[in-house]
Chains A and B, each alone.
Chain A
Amino acid sequence: MTEIERHDYDVLVIGAGGAGLRAAIEARERGLRTAIVCKSLFGKAHTVMAEGGCAAAMGNVNEHDSWQVHFRDTMRGGKFLNSWRMAELHAKEAPDRVWELETYGALFDRTPDGRISQRHFGGHTYPRLAHVGDRTGLELLRTLQQRIVALQQADHAETGDFEARLRVFAECTITELLTDPDAGTEHHGAVAGAFGYWRESGRHVQFSAPAVVLATGGIGKSFQVTSNSWEYTGDGHALALRAGASLIDMEFVQFHPTGMVWPPSVKGILVTEGVRGDGGVLRNSDGERFMFGYVPDVFKGQYAQSEDEADRWYDDQENNRRTPDLLPRDEVARAINTEVKEGRGSPHGGVYLDIASRMPADEIRRRLPSMYHQFKELADVDITAEQMEVGPTCHYVMGGIAVDPDTGQSRVPGLFAAGECAGGMHGSNRLGGNSLSDLLVFGRRAGLGAADYVAGLDRRPAVREADVAAAAAMTLAPFDAHPAGAGGENPYTLHAELQRVMNDLVGIIRTESEVVAALDRLAELRARVHDVVVEGHRQYNPGWHLTLDLRNMLMVSEAVASSALLRTESRGGHTREDHPGLDAEWRHRVLVTHCVRDGSGLGSGAAVVLRTAVEPAEREPMRPDLLALFDLSELEKYYTPAELAGHPDAGRSAALHPEGGTA
C-alpha cells in the first residue's frame, strides 16, 4: 500500500459549517494548532443554506424579550424534553455570539435605530431572529469563513505561513475515528485521531489529534423528500457510535412544514418559515386558513382564535395573540399532512402558502429575495402574484451525540460534538432559528472544551497502526472484484431504496407495523451493501463516496427506526398513529443508542455496517429555579405530579394560573 499522508494537530474539527468553524476559531484563539476537515469546498457547508435567521433574545425589536422568555419558548417547542442546561446556556449566550459576528464583519438587516433587526418565527414569543433577508445562513457562514481567513492572515504576518496554526482540509472525508484503548477511561479509549480520504485523489490521510470536535450536521439524506444536501449522511453520528459514544433522541426527526412540492425534481427544497414570519398564511384548497383548527391543547390560549386577531398581531404583539400559522413546526407539518389526506390539498399534494395577497410585490422581493428567485427559476411561479404550493420535508434531526452541555464532550474522552450532530438542545422539536444560534453557542463551547481538555493531558493518546490499516482496507473493499457469479449492487439504487424505506415507513406519521417492516428492510439493505461494486478508480469518484456514506446512513437509520419503535407516544418530531397522545411517563425517559460490536453476521467484506441497540434511561430533572420559570398549570400538561413536587406553587390550586399566562 502506498504511503499514507499524515498530519498532527492539537484539535481536529470535523465539519466546516457554523458549529465547526466557531469551534475552530475558539480553539485557535486559545493558541492550539487546529485543523478543519470538510467534505465540500470551504464555505459550502449546509449552514450556507439557512434562510430565516438566528434566534437571540437581544430585545432590539421588542424590549420585553429576555433569556428567560427564549428559554421557555425553546423548552415548549421541544415539549420539555430538551436538555434544560443546554437550553439555558443557549438562551443566555446567543446574543453575545451574534454581536460577536458583527465584530467579524457581519452585516445583518437593521432596525430604524441602527441595531440588528429581528423577525418573527414559529414558537418564538417575540421577534427574535437576526437575519439578512432570507439568506442568513450565507451571512453567518461567510462571516465565520472570513474570520478564519483573518486569523490565518494574522498567522501569516507572524510566521510567514497562512496555515501555521489553522488549516482547512477541504473535500476530505473522514471515515473513521481512531482511539487509544490505553488512554482514557476504563470503558472508553480516548480519541487519538481520525482517518479519511481526499475526495479529489482518493488518497488516504490520517490525522493525529488528542481532541476531535464533530460538527458534521444531520442525517436527512436517508429520506426521500428532504431539504438536505448530499452531505447529510449522518457521518458524525455514525463515527461517534463506532468510537464508543452514544446517541440520544434519535426518534425525533423534524419535518419542516413547507418544502416545495412541484416540480418533482425540486420536491423537498425548503421554503423558509420567514414567509410566514413576515405575514404569509397557509390555506387549503377551499381557501380556508386551516391552522386555526389545529391549535393543540397544550398551546390553547397562546394563539389567536380569529383571522382578525392574528393579522393585528403582526403590528401589536402586546394586545393580540400570534397566528397559528406560526405554531411549532411539528404541529404545522402534521396539520398539512391531515389537510392533504382529507382531500383539501393542492393539485400536487401540498397546501397553499400565500404571501402575494398580503404584501406589496416590492416588499416581498425585498424581504424574501431568494424565495422569489427560487420559485421563479425552479417552478415558474411568481410568488408576488401567485400562491406557493408547499408540503412537509425532512429537515433536521433533533437527536444526536450525547454530550456534556457545558463542554460538548461525549463519553469518549477527547471526543466533542456541536451543532446539528449533537443531541439534547432541541428536545423533541427544534424551533426555527434556534439552530444557527446553537451552532455559535455550542461551537464555541466545544472549542473551549477541547482546548481545556488538551491543556489538561499529560500524555497524547497514540494512534494504533492496526486501526489505520483496518480503516484503509474498509474504504477500498468496494473496489474488490466481486465473487464470480453474483451480480454487484449499484450504490445509487441502494440509496434510493433506503430513502424510500425511511420516507414511507419511518416518516412523519409512524405505526408499529410499519417501523417493524422498516427494520426488516434495513437488515436486507445492510446485507446488500456488502455486494456493492464500485466502477472506475479512486479519483473523485462519487459512486465510491456514496458507497462509503451508505455505511453511516444505514447505521443511523437503524438508530432512528429502533428508537421510533420503542417510544409509544407522540411528541414533537415523533408521531405514532397508534399512540397519538403525549404521555408524561415518556417525558422523563430518554432513548439512548449505542453501537453493538458482537461481530455477528459482520464479515470482513465490503462496507461493513455495525449494528446499533437502543435502551431507555432517565433524563436529569430540571433545576428548580428554571422549573419555577413556568407556571405549574403549564407544566402539569407535560410532567407527572411526582416530578412537580419541587415547584414553588406545588400544592396550591392550579386554577390560580390562567392558561398560557407565562408568555
Chain B
Amino acid sequence: MSYKGRFRVWRGDASGGALADFEVEVNEGEVVLDVLHRIQATQAPDLAVRWNCKAGKCGSCSAEIDGRPRLLCMTRMSVFDPGDVVTVTPMRTFPVLRDLVTDVSFNYAKAREVPSFTPPAGLAPGEYRMAQVDVERSQEFRKCIECFLCQDTCHVVRDHDENKGAFAGPRFLMRVAELEMHPLDVADRVPAAQDEHGLGRCNITKCCTEVCPEGIKITDNALIPMKERVADRRYDPLVWLGRTITRRRD
C-alpha cells in the first residue's frame, strides 16, 4: 500500500526561500502531516512545522496545500493520486518565520481589540440560566479552533497588508457576533463592529466559510446577521434606542 510520494515544500525564512523537492514514502491512511514528519525524521530534521493534536482540534498545523488553506493533519493523502506532486507552502497572509511556520501575532492583537464578555451586574456565579436554543448560536462560533485559515484566505487582507490595521478578519468579526448573540452579554457591540473592526469591508464572498475546518457558517450565521444589525441601526436610530432600552430591562 506504500508508494513514493513527491512533495514540494517551501523552505526558507523572512529573508526568502524556495520550494524544496522531496521523495518520501507514503502509507495507507496517512495525512500530509505524517509525511512531513517522515521528511523531518529521515531527510530534513530541521524542517519547521507547527502541530499539536494531529486530530483537527487545536488549529496549529495550518498551511497551504497546492495553494489551498488547509489543516495539514486533516488532509488525507488519499485525496491525491500517487503520481501527484503535493506542494506545501506557509499561510500567505502572515509573515514567514521559518519554512511552514508563520508569525500569526496579528490574530492575537486583533483578539485583544474585542471587548470581553460583559455579564449583567449583580448576577452571581451559579445563577446563570440560559436556554439551550439560545446558547446554540454562539456555541457554533465557539467551535472555532483558531487555525486562522479564514484570516489567511480573506481577500481583504490576503494581499493587502495595508488593510490589516482596520480589519479584524472573519475570525474576530465572528467573535464580536458571538458576544452579541450571547444570551447574557450586556455590551452593545454593533457600532464597533462596523467602525472599529471593519465589518463594512467584508463583501460576503464566503471564502472564509469555505476553508473553515470546523464547518462554521461564518458568513451566513455571523457576518451577515451582524451586517443586518448594523443596517437596522443606520437606517433607523430609533430602532437602536428602543433595543438598548428593552435590553436593559430584561
Contacts and interface: CB of A to CB of B under 8 A. Distances in A.
A44 B55 CA distance: 13
Contacts of B130: 107, 110, 114
Interface bracket on A: 35 or more
A481 to B, nearest CB: 16
Contacts of B146: 43, 142
B56 A374 contact: yes
Interface in B39-97: 40-42, 45-60, 74, 76, 97
A139 interface: yes
Contact of B53 (A48, A133, A542, A544): A48
Contact of A107 (B52, B98, B135): B135
A491 B50 CA distance: 18
Contacts of B108: 42
Contact of B54 (A138, A269, A542): A269
A153 B116 contact: yes
Contacts of A269: 54-55
B101 interface: yes
Interface string B101-128: 1001000100110011101000101101
A149 B30 contact: no
B152 interface: no
B221 interface: no
Interface stretch (B137-145, B161-169, B204-212, B222-230): B137-145
B27 interface: yes
Contacts of B139: 107, 109, 132-133
Given A105-B182, A230-B51, A542-B49, A265 B27 contact: yes
B76 A200 contact: no
Interface stretch (A95-103, A312-320, A354-362): A95-103
A540 B48 contact: yes
A543 interface: yes
B57 A146 contact: no
A556 to B, nearest CB: 20
Contacts of B76: 377-378
A500 interface: no
Contacts, number: 174
A543 B45 contact: yes
Contact of B27 (A135, A264, A374): A264
Interface string A140-162: 00100011011011001000001
Nearest to B115: A153
B99 interface: yes
Nearest to A373: B56
Contacts of A491: 45
A367 to B, nearest CB: 12
A657 to B, nearest CB: 35
Contact of B45 (A103, A142, A156, A536): A536
Contacts of A112: 132
B129 interface: yes
Contacts of B117: 104-105, 146, 150
Q: Which of B58, B97, B101, B108 has the most CB of A within 10 A?
A: B58
A632 to B, nearest CB: 35
B245 interface: no
Given A114-B129, A114-B130, A142-B142, A266 B54 contact: yes
Interface of A: 40-44, 46, 48-49, 95-96, 99-100, 102-105, 107, 109-110, 112-115, 117, 132-133, 135, 138-139, 142, 146-147, 149-150, 152-153, 156, 162, 200, 229-231, 262-266, 269-270, 369-370, 373-374, 377-379, 490-493, 496, 534-537, 539-544
Given A103-B128, A114-B131, A542-B49, 11 more contacts: A49-B52, A95-B126, A96-B126, A105-B179, A105-B182, A115-B128, A146-B116, A149-B116, A373-B56, A374-B56, A542-B40
Interface of B: 13, 27-31, 34, 40-42, 45-60, 74, 76, 97-99, 101, 104, 108, 111-112, 115-117, 119, 123, 125-126, 128-132, 135, 138-139, 142-146, 179, 182, 185
